[in-house]
């Protein structure tokens, strides 16, 4: 019996009401149309995305397996067993590319261990898109994920990382945008460059790169939109 293929499916990173099907490559729509099992971060988001790209898709005859942070080993075993039995499975996070600061890594790890083919599909990644447009170091960079919630720990982490070479990329929960930005401006040295990339691909998209000192007298007021921070 042939093994199934694990497809890594990108989901739009902007708000749902800004969704345009023309932004989804036709080959991704074709692949989704032929998958009946999905491993997803959020069932509701995934179902709505599928129905938006194909209103005729039989969503009620489709299986969704949740792989959020609460998923245990039995969930991943179920997914691998389905792949070993020949089922193609699509992996989707709530937005952006699975496995990049989102669920998906564990499934890929197990798929490699079982010699299952993994097919990553082209789509939006706020992390790479922000770096592309920042004007900062695209040859030497590091993604740090989320900074600590505790302010003291966060400041210590910022100071420590700021001593390292290259561009440093951070993602943040929208309601903490302003606090994190203020800590960057207060605790990075004046000549550091910092990029704020907000609501990438959305109607409120804003990408600004300046020296830290340029923000002293004109601090940005950040709205609660998904934001990537990069400094170098």
Residue 39 to residues 98, 151, 199: CA-CA distances in angstroms?
10, 35, 26
Q: What is the pLDDT of residue 192?
A: 96
Q: What is the pLDDT of residue 16?
A: 67
- Top-confidence residue, 14 or 71: 71
- List, by residue range, all CATH 3.40.1010.10 domains of the chain: 6-120
Band (pLDDT 50/70/90 cuts) for residue 201 is confident
Q: Work out the mean pLDDT of the chain and round it to a whole number.
A: 92
- List, by residue range, all CATH 3.30.950.10 domains of the chain: 126-231
Look at strands 37-40 and 63-66 and give their pairing.
Answer: parallel
Between CA 89 and CA 96, with CA 95 as vertex, the angle to 5 degrees is 85
For 100-145, write each residue's pLDDT tens digit: 888 889 999 999 999 999 999 988 888 999 999 999 999 999 999 9
Once rounded to an integer, what is the mean pLDDT over residues 193-207?
92
Compute CA 215 distance to the chain's CA centroid, rounded to the nearest angstrom.
27
Topology given in CATH for the domain delimited by 126-231: 3.30.950
What are the residues facing 210 on neighbouring strands?
A: 194
How far is the C-alpha of 232 from the C-alpha of 109, rounded, in Å?
32
How far is the C-alpha of 149 from the C-alpha of 174, rounded, in Å?
13
31-45, 81-95, 145-159, 218-232: segment of lowest average pLDDT: 218-232
What are the residues facing 228 on neighbouring strands?
A: 171, 197
Task: Supply 103's token pair.
Answer: 């669920």
The CA dihedral of 90, 96, 98, 100, to the nearest 10 degrees, is: 170
70-84, 88-102, 142-156, 157-171: segment of lowest average pLDDT: 88-102
Would the pLDDT of 46 be above 80? yes
Q: What is the pLDDT of residue 80?
A: 96
Band (pLDDT 50/70/90 cuts) for residue 182 is very high
Band (pLDDT 50/70/90 cuts) for residue 22 is confident
41-55, 129-143, 192-206, 217-231: segment of lowest average pLDDT: 217-231
Between CA 3 and CA 59, with CA 39 as vertex, the angle to 5 degrees is 100
Would the pLDDT of 230 be above 70? yes
Q: What CATH number is given for 6-120 in this structure?
A: 3.40.1010.10
12-26, 51-65, 78-92, 98-112: which is most confident: 78-92
The model's pTM is 0.86
């Amino acid at each position: 019996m042939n093994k199934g293929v694990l497809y890594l499916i990108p989901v739009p990173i902007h708000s749902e009401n800004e969704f345009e099907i023309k932004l989804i490559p036709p080959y991704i729509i074709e692949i989704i149309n032929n998958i009946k099992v999905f491993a997803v971060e959020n069932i509701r988001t995934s179902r709505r995305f599928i129905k938006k790209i194909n209103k005729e898709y039989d969503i009620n005859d489709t299986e969704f397996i949740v792989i959020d942070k609460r998923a245990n080993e039995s969930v991943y075993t179920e997914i691998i067993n389905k792949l070993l039995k020949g089922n193609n499975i699509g992996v989707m996070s709530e937005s952006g590319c699975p496995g990049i600061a989102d669920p998906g890594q564990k499934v890929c790890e197990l798929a490699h261990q079982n010699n299952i083919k993994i097919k990553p599909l082209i789509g939006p990644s706020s992390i790479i898109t922000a770096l592309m447009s920042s004007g900062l170091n695209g040859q030497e960079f590091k993604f740090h994920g989320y900074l600590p919630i505790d302010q003291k720990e966060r400041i210590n982490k910022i100071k420590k990382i700021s001593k390292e070479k290259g561009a440093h990329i951070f993602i943040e929960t929208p309601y903490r945008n302003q606090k994190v930005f203020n800590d960057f401006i207060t605790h990075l040295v004046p000549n550091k460059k910092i990029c704020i990339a907000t609501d990438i691909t959305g109607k409120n998209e804003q990408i600004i790169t300046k020296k830290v000192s340029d923000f002293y007298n004109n601090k940005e007021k950040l709205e609660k939109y998904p934001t990537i921070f990069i400094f170098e």
